[in-house]
Amino acid sequence: MKLRYFAWVRERIGTAEETVEPPDSVATVGDLLGWLQGRGETYAFALAEPDAIRVALDQDHAERDAPIAGVREVALFPPMTGG
Amino acid sequence: MATLRTLITADPIDTAGEIAAIQAGRSDIGAVVSFTGLCRDEDGRLDALELEHYPGMAEKEIGRIAAQAAERWEVSALTVIHRHGRIRPGETIVVVVAASTHRHAAFEAAEFVMDFLKTHAPFWKKEHARDGTPTGWVAAKASDDDAKARWKD
Domains delineated in chain A: 2-77 (3.10.20.30)
Amino acid present at A42: T
Whole-prediction pTM value? 0.95
Chain B neighbors of A75, CB-CB under 8 A? 54, 57, 122
Give the residue-averaged pLDDT of B84-107.
Answer: 98
- Is residue B116's pLDDT more than 90? yes
The full length of chain A comes to: 83
What single letter denotes the amino acid at residue B12? P
Nearest to B117 among A60, A75, A83 (CB): A83
pLDDT for B29-83, tens place per residue? 999 999 999 999 999 999 999 999 999 999 999 999 999 999 999 999 999 999 9
Backbone angles phi, psi at B40, to 5 degrees: -85, 160
**Region of residue A13 (left: phi > 0; alpha: psi -120 to 50; beta: else):** alpha
CATH topology of domain B3-149: Aldehyde Oxidoreductase; domain 3 (3.90.1170)
Q: What's the whole-number mean pLDDT along residues B110-133?
A: 95
The dihedral of CA B137, B97, B119, A1: what is its sign? negative
pLDDT for residue A63: 97
Q: Is the pLDDT of residue B153 over 70?
A: no
Nearest CA in chain A to B54: A6
Taking residues B12-39, what's their average pLDDT? 97
> How many interface pairs between A and B have CB atoms less than 8 angstroms apart?
72
Contact A6 B52 (CB under 8 A): yes
Predicted local confidence at residue B134, as pLDDT: 72
What is the Cα–Cα distance from A65 to A34, expressed in whole angstroms?
13
